[in-house]
Each structure stands twice: as C-alpha cells, then as structure tokens.
Amino acid sequence: MIDIVEQQVIGEMALASELSVKLAEHRVKLAIDDFGRGYASLSKVKELPFAEVKLDRSFVFDCGTNKVNAPICKTVIELAHSFGSLAVGIGLEKAADALALSSMCCDLGQGYLLGQPMPQERFVALLRQRATARAAQPAQAKDAAGAAPVPA
C-alpha cells in the first residue's frame, strides 16, 4: 500500500493516474491520505483506483460529539465505500472516537490509541508475544473457526 496525500494527487493527476496503472501491475494498491484536508474535486478523485480513503485527523478528532466532524466523517466513509474503497480513520487518540467511527462503519483505524510508532525489532517482538499468548489460551476460549479472541 502506498499513501498519496490528496493535494499531491490533484496537483499531478496525469502522473498519479499513470503511476496507479503501473503499480496495479505489481499488485500495489494506493491510499489517498488526509482526505478532506485539501481541495480535491470528487470528479478527479473517482478517476483513480484507491484501495483506501484516509479521513484527515482534523475530522476524526471528537467525531463522536462534534456536530461538524461527525457528519463529515460519515459522508467520507460512505463515499469511500461507494468507490469500492476502505475507509480509514487516522489520528485516533480516544476510544470514544474509535467507537464513533465504528458505528459509522469505518473499516480501519490508525493512531496512538491503537499503537505508537516503534522500531521494527520492537514490533516483531510484540507480534511474537501476542502469538505466544494466543497459542497459550485454553482450547475452549477459541471459537468454531479456531480463532482466539483479540487481546484487549
């Protein structure tokens, strides 16, 4: 997945279109980042095959209670889905915002609430620790598909 900031896409539409075709040949997908922050024309945005539309953090902040941010988030999520793309809420810092986005059918979230940036070695160690914890869970904690509950 390659993130492209909304402003860059609009400023270089021909290049972005050519790049998206070449990347698709190698199964690389595009994400439009900071969506809603710039002045993208929807007629231009729909021309590119974005796999993800990332809502700008300024809209995600307080999206459960802010009377302006909430409808913007919901609209962008619905727009992303209508394009056949996933909607991603970026800049998540509060559980209330994550819950609000989830209720709006947002597909994914990204931000300090879910995890802070870390070196590769620490990330690999964290994955191993979680895999070990899942493997150690009693068999009755696993569901019919064999998957263990996600740790909190």
**4 Cβ contact list (under 8 Å, min separation 6):** 16, 30, 31, 32, 33
The pLDDT of residue 33 is 77
Higher pLDDT, 50 or 124: 124
33: number of Cβ within 10 Å: 22
pLDDT band at 86 (very low <50, low <70, confident <90, very high): very high
How high is the pLDDT of residue 91? 92
- Alpha-carbon torsion (132, 133, 136, 138), positive or negative: negative
E strand residue ranges, the chain: 2-5, 30-35, 50-55, 86-90, 108-110
Q: Which carries the bigger pLDDT value, residue 115 or residue 38?
A: 115
Q: Choose the weakest-confidence range: 26-30, 87-91, 104-108.
A: 26-30
- Give 114's pLDDT tier (boundaries 50, 70, 90): confident
